[in-house]
A and B are shown apart, each in its own frame.
Chain A
Amino acid sequence: MTKIIVPIGPQHPLLKEPVSFQLTVEGEHVTESAMRLGYVHRGIERLCQERTYVQNIHLLERICGICSHVHTTTFCQGVEALLGVKLPSRALYLRALLCELERIHSHLLWLGVLALNIGFDTIFMYAWHDREVVLDIMEDLSGGRVSHAVNIVGGVRFDLTDDRRVTLLRQLNGLEEQVRILLGVVEHEQTLQARTRNVGRLSLEQIRRYCVVGPVARASGLDVDLRRDMPRPPYDGLTFQVPVRQEGDVWARTLVRMLETVESVHLCRQMLDLLPPGPVSTRVSRRVPAGEVVSRTEAPRGEVVYYIRSDGSDKPARVKVRTPTLTNLITLPSQLENVNMADVSVVLSGVDLCIACADR
């Protein structure tokens, strides 16, 4: 049969960000795929060496347009470890609260994108409608819907009044109701299952060999979550489940993400209940003692790793950023193999691509 090469990207309606795929197609089936990255490479790691720690927080926040807060959290956590400061509990809780809200936002956004790509516009509308609730909450808390700019080395820049806490709990109750409806749709809706079941399968062995992280790994049976496996405050004092599925297809990834969203709502509620009183930040020196640190956190898409080296000045000597998408992208060729052309969009959505993260 004749082989045809179908280019997808760098600019393509299917993609939300620029990345390029060259799919070799025989009939309706993909036989080979090649990927090209780097269209949004901004040289952020190099830029970090030119800026002070304070300036870097604002730069690193712009790595990702969805999980911006988790990047600054990982960076600040590393720098605080180098400084040897102990954060007030309230700061840690507020930081984690925003991380969980961001996870809800990211997963709902992703569900909308998946639904849009399979032509299921109703779910897309509902998911993005519910996402607005989280965005409004985050805007109320931080002043920004996507870039929150709340992290500083030594704590956070916002606080929560008691009145606001009560309204927030009410908003979360409403949100949980909505998310549970979406979860029911993912579990039982046959159209969605017909498009996502047995598509883009990855075995546990592949997941381990390709070093895959986050919901994609958990949907293939790898029971890993840094919030639970590297317990640090406040997560060590909270109870939550880590949803794991064995199927390894896009449907399992959808289910894992929706279950995680429900868990995140629970976590937010627990944090609001247990929110300790006290200050939200502590004063720290602008110069960071010489040393190096590896900082890891669980972002919505999986493990984020920062390596930070300080030479004793107010600028880092090296900041290395490894985002979850970069590791998960590497599985795409094996996922796309023998896939029907119509399912390519499902496979690409299933990984939850964030190209700006991968390119930095």
Chain B
Amino acid sequence: MNRLLRQLHLFEEIFSAFQAAFPDDPLTVQAMPIDETFVTLAPEHIHEACEILVERFDFYHLSTITGLDTGAAVELFYHFWNAYGITLRTALPYTALRIATLTDFIPGAAFYERELYTMLGVVFEGHVNLQPLLQPDDWDGSHPLRKT
């Protein structure tokens, strides 16, 4: 029970830090199974929100970034972990598949961003080596996980 209380307390703090930093963003929070919390943010706030999580709340571990084509937009999920899981989610419209890179303060994000760049065509602005990660040398530039 202590663990649950600590988690609730911590996430309240994180949520108020987000609210203070992005007053105009209609943040939504969702509790998910297996100790995970999802927070939805606008794409332009992701970089700063990740910085808050890493610098202020010590969520140093970025587990991975998931990309998902819903058919209407490309959703990105930034899964962080430090004793509890927290996922920041955002949606990019097809017309603007661009988002700021996290590699400037989390160098471990480099491979995840390269993979998403080829699989879904999301451009990570500021990534120093945005090359295909898994595609062959004669890759035709198509994105295997895109629906349209």
When the two chains form their complex, are residues B32 and A37 in contact, meaning their CB atoms are under 8 A apart? no
Q: How far is the CA of A230 from the CA of B38 in the complex (A)?
A: 17
Task: Point out which of A81, A84, A307 has the most chain B C-beta atoms below 10 A from its C-beta.
Answer: A307
When the two chains form their complex, are residues A41 and B134 in contact, meaning their CB atoms are under 8 A apart? yes
B45 at the interface (CB under 8 A from A): no
Please report which residues of chain A, range 2-58, place their CB below 8 angstroms from some CB of chain B when the two chains form the complex.
Answer: 37-38, 41, 43, 45-46
Q: How far is the CA of A308 from the CA of B104 in the complex (A)?
A: 28
When the two chains form their complex, are residues B134 and A37 in contact, meaning their CB atoms are under 8 A apart? yes
Please report which residues of chain B, range 63-77, place their CB below 8 angstroms from some CB of chain A when the two chains form the complex.
Answer: 63-64, 66-68, 77
When the two chains form their complex, are residues B111 and A78 in contact, meaning their CB atoms are under 8 A apart? no
With a cutoff of 8 Å between Cβ atoms, the chain A residues found around residue B79 in the complex are 294, 305, 307
When the two chains form their complex, are residues B134 and A330 in contact, meaning their CB atoms are under 8 A apart? no
A-side interface residues, number (CB < 8 Å) = 41
**Chain B interface residue number, banded:** 35 or more
When the two chains form their complex, are residues B108 and A295 in contact, meaning their CB atoms are under 8 A apart? no
With a cutoff of 8 Å between Cβ atoms, the chain B residues found around residue A322 in the complex are 63-64, 112
With A38-B136, A211-B106, A229-B83 known to touch, is A293 a contact of B32 (CB < 8 Å)? yes
A203 at the interface (CB under 8 A from B): no
CB within 8 A of A230: which of B35, B68, B134?
B35
B87 at the interface (CB under 8 A from A): yes
Closest CB in chain A relative to B146 CB, distance in Å? 10
Q: How far is the CA of A329 from the CA of B137 in the complex (A)?
A: 20
CB within 8 A of B61: which of A38, A211, A295?
A211
With A38-B136, A46-B145, A318-B68 known to touch, is A77 a contact of B34 (CB < 8 Å)? yes
- When each residue 100-115 of chain B gets 1 if its CB lies under 8 Å from chain A and 0 otherwise, what string results? 0000001111111000
With a cutoff of 8 Å between Cβ atoms, the chain A residues found around residue B112 in the complex are 322
When the two chains form their complex, are residues B111 and A305 in contact, meaning their CB atoms are under 8 A apart? no
Task: Point out which of A77, A78, A210, A213 has the most chain B C-beta atoms below 10 A from its C-beta.
Answer: A210
Q: How far is the CA of A218 from the CA of B11 in the complex (A)?
A: 27
When the two chains form their complex, are residues B77 and A209 in contact, meaning their CB atoms are under 8 A apart? no
Please report which residues of chain A, range 58-77, place their CB below 8 angstroms from some CB of chain B when the two chains form the complex.
Answer: 77
A296 at the interface (CB under 8 A from B): yes
A212 at the interface (CB under 8 A from B): yes
CB within 8 A of A293: which of B36, B68, B107?
B36
Q: How far is the CA of A210 from the CA of B136 in the complex (A)?
A: 25
Please report which residues of chain B, range 42-94, place their CB below 8 angstroms from some CB of chain A when the two chains form the complex.
Answer: 60-64, 66-68, 77, 79, 81, 83, 85, 87
B33 at the interface (CB under 8 A from A): yes
When the two chains form their complex, are residues B33 and A293 in contact, meaning their CB atoms are under 8 A apart? yes
Q: How far is the CA of A322 from the CA of B64 in the complex (A)?
A: 7
With A293-B32, A293-B36 known to touch, is A359 a contact of B134 (CB < 8 Å)? yes
CB within 8 A of B107: which of A45, A209, A320, A360?
A209
When the two chains form their complex, are residues A330 and B107 in contact, meaning their CB atoms are under 8 A apart? yes
Closest CB in chain B relative to A137 CB, distance in Å? 29
Q: How far is the CA of A229 from the CA of B87 in the complex (A)?
A: 18
Q: How far is the CA of A317 from the CA of B112 in the complex (A)?
A: 20
With a cutoff of 8 Å between Cβ atoms, the chain B residues found around residue A211 in the complex are 60-63, 106, 108-109
When the two chains form their complex, are residues B60 and A208 in contact, meaning their CB atoms are under 8 A apart? yes
When the two chains form their complex, are residues B77 and A46 in contact, meaning their CB atoms are under 8 A apart? no
- Could you jot down 12 A-B contacts, CB within 8 Å? A45-B119, A45-B145, A208-B61, A209-B60, A209-B107, A230-B35, A294-B36, A295-B34, A303-B81, A305-B63, A320-B64, A326-B111
**Contacts A208-B60, A294-B32, A305-B64 supplied; 19 other A-B pairs, CB < 8 Å:** A78-B34, A211-B60, A211-B106, A211-B109, A232-B34, A293-B32, A293-B33, A294-B79, A303-B63, A307-B66, A307-B77, A307-B79, A318-B68, A322-B64, A326-B111, A327-B64, A327-B111, A329-B111, A359-B134
Q: Which residues of A contact B (CB under 8 A)?
A: 37-38, 41, 43, 45-46, 77-78, 81-82, 84, 208-213, 224, 229-232, 292-296, 303, 305, 307, 309, 317-318, 320, 322, 326-327, 329-330, 359-360
